[in-house]
Amino acid sequence: MCSIILNLTETGTFIGANRDELLARPWLAPGAHWAEYPGVIAGRDETAGGTWMALNRHGVMAAVLNRHGTLGPAAGKRSRGELPLLALDQSTAGQAAAKIMQTIEPAAYRAFNLVIADAAAAFFIRAQGGENLTVAPFAPGVTMLTAGEPNDVSEPRIARHLPKFQSTPWEYWPALLAVAAPPVISALNIPPRNGYGTVCSSLLALRAEGPPAWLFAAGPPGETAFLPVKIA
C-alpha cells in the first residue's frame, strides 16, 4: 500500500511519497527510460515496464496507487503502471486529468487511485471495481492518500500521520516518511515483512516560480539518502 502526501499552496505543490512493493520486484531509479515518452522522467518497473511516479518537462506529475485488495497483476488486465506515462503528454495537470478521463477504459485495469498535479492544481482520479472513473480536484492544504479515499481517517496510516504532515513544513517531511515504528498497520515506512516493504521514497517540489525539484531515496527513507534526480 503506497502513500502520497500533497500540500497544495499558493507557492506551489509539494509532495512526499513512499512506494511499498514486493522486495524482489526489480525497478530502476527515476530517469528518461522511455523513448516513446520524450521529456518524461520516472522510475521504471522492470516487470511490467511502467512506473509508480512520473514527471514531465512541463512540471506535471502523475502517480498511481493500488486500491485495497488489488495488489499485483491480474489476468486480462493492463498494468496500472502505464497510466502516469499516458497522462504526461499534456502541459498542465488539468489537461492530463481530462485526457485520462476521456481516453481510459477503467475495466481494462484493476482498481486504482491516480494523482495528477502541477504547481497550480492537483486532481484525484479513482477507478473502483473496474467500472467507475471519477475525478475531483484536491483542496488547498495537505492531503494524504493510500489505498482508499483522500484524508480518510478510518485508514490507520492516515489517522496516525496526517496531522504530522499538516503541521510540519515540507522541508522536514523526510523524517515523517521514515517513520517505521509499530504498529505495522499504521507505519508509513514499512519494514521488510513476508517479502514486502517500503522500497523507495520521493520528495517533489512543483514551484510556481522556478523549475521543479525531485529528491529520491533509492531505498527505505531513514536508511537511504535523498538525492537530486536529474530532470533536464
Determine the pLDDT at residue 74: 72
- The answer to whether 8 touches 140, Cβ cutoff 8 Å, is yes
Q: Which residue stretches of 34-155 are H helix?
A: 83-87, 93-103
Residues 6+ apart with CB under 8 A from 117: 6, 8, 13, 15, 60, 61, 62, 93, 123, 138, 206
Cis peptide before 140 (omega within 30 of 0): no
Cα separation, 107 vs 224, in Å, equals 38
Q: 7 pairs with which residues across the strands? A: 14, 142
Cα separation, 127 vs 83, in Å, equals 12
Spell out the domain ranges in the chain: 3-228
Determine the pLDDT at residue 76: 79
- The answer to whether 32 touches 44, Cβ cutoff 8 Å, is no
Determine the pLDDT at residue 159: 98
DSSP type of residue 92: S
Give the Cα-Cα-Cα angle 165, 129, 87 (nearest 5 degrees): 60
- Residue 18, phi then psi, degrees to nearest 5: -115, 135
Determine the pLDDT at residue 69: 72
Instruction: Return contacts of 146-150, CB within 8 angstroms, 24+ apart.
Output: 146/1, 146/2, 146/3, 146/65, 147/1, 147/2, 147/65, 147/66, 147/67, 147/68, 147/113, 148/67, 148/68, 150/124
Determine the pLDDT at residue 70: 67
Determine the pLDDT at residue 130: 63
Superfamily of domain 3-228: Penicillin V Acylase; Chain A (3.60.60.10)
Tell me the per-residue pLDDT of 80-92, one tens digit each, with 9 for 90 and over. 999 999 999 999 9
Tell me the per-residue pLDDT of 180-198, one tens digit each, with 9 for 90 and over. 999 989 999 999 999 999 9
CA atoms within 13 A on the CB side of 94: 3
pLDDT in tens, the chain (232 residues): 699 999 999 999 999 999 999 999 999 999 999 999 999 999 999 999 999 999 999 999 999 998 987 677 778 789 999 999 999 999 999 999 999 999 999 999 999 999 999 999 999 999 987 668 999 999 999 999 999 999 999 999 999 999 999 999 999 999 999 999 999 899 999 999 999 999 999 999 999 999 999 999 999 999 999 999 999 7
Cα separation, 2 vs 42, in Å, equals 16
